[in-house]
Structure 1
Amino acid sequence: MTTSVSRREGKKIVVVGSINADLTTRVARHPHPGETLMGTGGTFSAGGKGANQAVAAALLGGDVAMVGAVGADPQAEAALTHLRRSGLDMRAVATTTEPTGLAVITVSASGENTIVVLPGANATVTASYVDQHAELIRGADIVLLQGEIPASGFDRAVELAAGRVVVNLAPVVPVGKQRLLEANPLLANEHEAALVLEQLERPHESDDPHQLARELREAGFQTVVLTLGAAGALVADEQGLTEIPTPKVQPVDTTGAGDAFAGALVTRLSEGDGLVDAARFAARVGAAATLARGAQDSYPAAGEQLPEVENS
């Protein structure tokens, strides 16, 4: 990974979110309930949805600041590795008495993963902590949030934001309804989209992505981006629905690919792209992130060759 990132002219991105150490194991297939399998790996690497998205954006040239927390433990060094290397602003990253957040990731031979997250220091990113960085958040052109911090911290960050709010509520946790509806766009996969509708007390009748996107718009979101894995993505805005193709690749590890998409999306939005064009670029970055192991370890930097969409 590069240690010096060239910044293109763009607007300020502030990511308020989680910072984890990822403990990754690899298995031939995922175990069934009650089953024990032998695996490989067991090493720590940098992760956390907030940190992943911040690093992805910074590597692509975004002007990024991170608001989050880690512990005073050995895992913090692994968790902060790529945040430091990417050159983003880390002045709002605190060291707490809680342990660094931990994600236990199991990756199958097909590249699919399961993840269990232990919040640790991320649980300290509450409203009171976010308030300590109110000036930074108010000064951001884009504030990017996920679901791995307390709801009070999420809600307060949205309250403070004077610029555009982008939300990837993953995992889908209870947050303030009106705060959530300020997302522009809401970024979600199909499963998360259905859970968001349920949280808004709008039961959905279909798992069809097009219908989910329409229902999210009807629920009050100004714009929506649904990520559909190998099927690409779907943008819903005032122009209707736009399908976003993704390059056809053979994935090695899908861990953090959605976060790479999110980081790429906000970087292009910060540079003035419209949502559809930003999503087209983000789909290519997300595909690139599946071609190597790990989350932040796999993210491309600005200027690197990205997979192309066939017949584009």
Structure 2
Amino acid sequence: NEIVVDLGANAQLVPADVPRSVLHRAKVVLTQLESNLATTAQTLRAARRARVTTILNPAPMRADFDPALLRDVDILIPNETEFVALVNQLGLAPKKKVYTEAALAAEAPEVLQTLCRRLGPAVVIVTLGKRGCFVSQASGGTHIPAHVVKAVDTTGAGDAFVGGFASGFVKHDGDLLAAARQGQAVAALSVTKPGTAPSMPTARELAAFLKKTAARV
């Protein structure tokens, strides 16, 4: 799919629009790159100081992205395109070659784990579409397969994963793999319906899907 982004009012977001009282009450702070980057950076920094888990979904990847922003990110969740862009921007490609999505698709898990570790954040989760996702943390990398469903519209699947992950991270007390599995389930359900917001599953639909898929294991 192709998505056109017009930041509109998002570009006018300023730090004062993000009350510190809200950050201090939060369990996670989830950000992306569709807003004023200076405000995003300050929000991540403030959340970090408040000892709140910070999550960044670097979407859409931008030419003016400052890698220094990653210093205040606990969990980084890029898709394949965004991961490749980050690897190239930071000069992390093996043998300093231009990194590609084809190279990523063929990557051995241990090489992918090394690249993820070099990005900086403690946790890096690369979403891989129908191939699932790769969860990288200091203790090692784990590939989680995607659910097999009949896809109708994949628009918003990445957003569904990230939202499902953040919710699961809180629900499962910081269990990364349990949170990633919930993200996978939310994404799987979202692609079975047309649209973006209308395709997001309800809590009841998610619970039923998780129960059904658990019975297959």
- Sort the TM-score into its range (normalised by shorter chain): 0.7 to 0.9
Work out the CA distance in 2 between the residues paired with 1:125 and 1:216.
Answer: 30
Which amino acid in 2 is paired with 1:274? D
Structure 1 residues 222 and 290: CA distance shift in structure 2, 3 A: same
Kept after mapping to 2: 8 A contact 1:225/1:233? yes
Q: Distance in 2 between matches of 1:298 and 1:139?
A: 29
1:246 and 2:146 equivalent? Answer: yes
Partners of 2:41 and 2:184 in 1: how far apart?
28
Q: Distance in 2 between matches of 1:309 and 1:234?
A: 20
The offset of 1:260, in angstroms, is 0.8
Cα shift at 1:119? 1.1
Distance 1:169 1:114 in 2: 17
TM-score, structure 1 length as denominator? 0.59
Q: Given the alignment, which residue of 206, 209, 213 partners 1:306?
A: 209
- The equivalent of 2:3 in structure 1 is 115
Question: 65, 68, 74: which one pairs with 1:184?
Answer: 74
In the aligned structure 2, how far is the partner of 1:176 from the partner of 1:188?
A: 15
- Counterparts of 1:257 and 1:135 in 2: how far apart (Å)? 31
SS of the residue corresponding to residue 178 of structure 2 reads helix
Name the count of aligned residue pairs.
198
SS at match of 2:78: strand
Q: Tell me the CA shift for residue 203 of structure 1.
A: 3.7
| TM-superposed deviation, 1:169 | 0.6
Deviation per residue, 1:154-208 (Å, 9 max, x gap): 1111111020001101011234433323322110111101112233343455532
CA distance in structure 2 between the partners assigned to 1:151 and 1:114 by the alignment:
23
Identify the structure with bigger relative contact order (alpha carbons < 8 Å, sequence gap 6+): 1
Please name the residue that 1:152 is paired with.
38
| Number of the residue aligned with 2:185 | 284
Compute the displacement of 1:287 (Å): 0.6
Q: Does 1:196 align with 2:86?
A: yes
For 1:241, the aligned partner's letter is G
Tell me if the contact between 2:155 and 2:191 (Cα under 8 Å) persists in the aligned partners.
Answer: yes
- Partners of 1:281 and 1:170 in 2: CA distance: 20
1:141 is matched with 27
Of residues 264, 272, 279, the one that matches 2:164 is 264
Structure 1: runs of 5+ lacking an equivalent: 1-112
- Give the whole-Å Cα distance in 1 for the aligned partners of 2:37 and 2:89: 13
Give the aligned CA root-mean-square deviation in angstroms: 2.1
How far apart in 2 are the matches of 1:299 and 1:144?
A: 17
- Contact 2:32/2:59, CA 8 A, preserved across alignment: yes
Q: Which residue of 2 aligns with 1:226?
A: 126
1:241/1:295 CA distance change after superposition, 3 Å? same
Indicate how the Cα distance of structure 1 residues 129 and 220 shifts in structure 2: closer, same or farther if over 3 A, else same. Answer: same
CA distance in 1, matches of 2:154, 2:141: 26
Q: How big is the shift at 1:138? A: 3.2
Deviation digits for residues 12-68 of structure 1, max 9, x if unmatched?
xxxxxxxxxxxxxxxxxxxxxxxxxxxxxxxxxxxxxxxxxxxxxxxxxxxxxxxxx
Q: Secondary structure of the equivalent of 1:246?
A: coil
CA contact (8 A) 2:56 2:73 kept: yes
- Highest Rg: 1 or 2? 1
- Once the two structures are TM-superposed, the CA of residue 141 in structure 1 deviates from its matched residue by 1.7
CA separation of 1:283 and 1:277: change in aligned 2, threshold 3 A: same
Q: Distance in 2 between matches of 1:269 and 1:180?
A: 20
Residue 10 of structure 2 aligns to a residue whose secondary structure is helix
The aligned runs of 1:122-133 (5 Å cut-off) are 122-130=10-18, 133=19
SS at match of 1:167: strand
CA distance in structure 2 between the aligned counterparts of 1:255 and 1:168, rounded to whole angstroms: 16
DSSP 3-state at the match of 2:5: strand
Q: Normalising by the residue count of structure 2, what TM-score does the alignment of the two structures yield? A: 0.83
